[in-house]
Amino acid sequence: MARTEKEKMLAGNELFDVYDAELVAERAAARQQLEAFNALGETDPQRSQQLIRQLFGATGDAVSVHATFRCDYGYNIYVGDDFFANYDCVMLDVAHIRIGKHCLLGPKVQLYSVNHPAEPKLRRNGAMGIGKPITLGDDVWVGGGAIICPGVTLGNNVIVGVGSVVTKSFGDNVVIAGSPARIIETLDPKL
C-alpha cells in the first residue's frame, strides 16, 4: 500500500510533497493557532501557555514561549519541563524536534528539521522536502540568533554561542560557537 505524503514526512529521510493537500491544510491550521498566540503577546500568559500546549506534540511543566513564534505544524515539537523560548523563535518541525528539560532558547533562535533535495528539478518551487529530526538534551542553552540545522543532536549541558550555525551533532558538556559551530570549551559535568 502506498504511503501518504504525511507518512513519508513523519518517517524522516524520505522525499515528500510539501504541497500535498493534507499537509497544506495542517500548516494552515497551525498558522491560525499561531496567529491567536502571537496576537496575545504578553497580555494573557495563562492563555498563551494553553495555546502552546495545544499546538505542541507534548510539553512538560513550566513552559514559556514568547511571541512571536513560528512553526510549520506544532505537533512535531516536544519540550520537557522548564522550557523557555525567547522572542521571535522559529521551529520548522517537518520532522520531530525534541527538546529536553531545563532548556533555554535565546531570541531569534531557529531550528530547521527540514531540508530539500540537492537535485535542482526536485527542489524547484520548494515542492519536495526531506525531514531530519533535531534533538536537544537536558540543560541546553542556545544563544540568540543561532541556527540548528536538520539532523543535529546536541547532548546534555550544551551551550550554543550567539549567532552560531550548528551543522553537526555534539555530545555532552561543551560550549560550541561559530559558523559552522565547533567546540570552544569543555564544561565540568559536576557543576
Residue 26: alpha-carbon gap to chain centroid: 17
- Report the run of H or E that residue 79 belongs to, with start and end: strand 77-79
Catalytic residue among 66, 96, 102, 116: 116
Q: Are 104 and 142 in contact (CB under 8 A)?
A: yes
Look at residue 191 and tell me if it is in a domain: no
* Overall number of domains in the chain: 1
- Specify the CATH number for the domain of residue 32: 2.160.10.10
- Active-site annotation holds for 116: yes
Contact 134, 97 (CB under 8 A): yes
Q: What is the pLDDT of residues 46-97, one digit of tens each?
A: 899 999 999 999 999 999 999 999 999 999 999 999 999 999 999 999 999 9
Please report, for residues 27, 29, 67, 114, 137, the alpha-carbon distance to residue 34 in angstroms, rounded to integers and kept in the order given: 10, 9, 9, 19, 26
Q: Is residue 157 part of a domain?
A: yes
The confidence score (pLDDT) of residue 131 equals 94
pTM of the predicted model, to two decimals? 0.95
Q: Cβ of 117: how many Cβ atoms within 10 Å? A: 13
Q: Can you give the residue range of the structural domain that contains 22?
A: 5-185
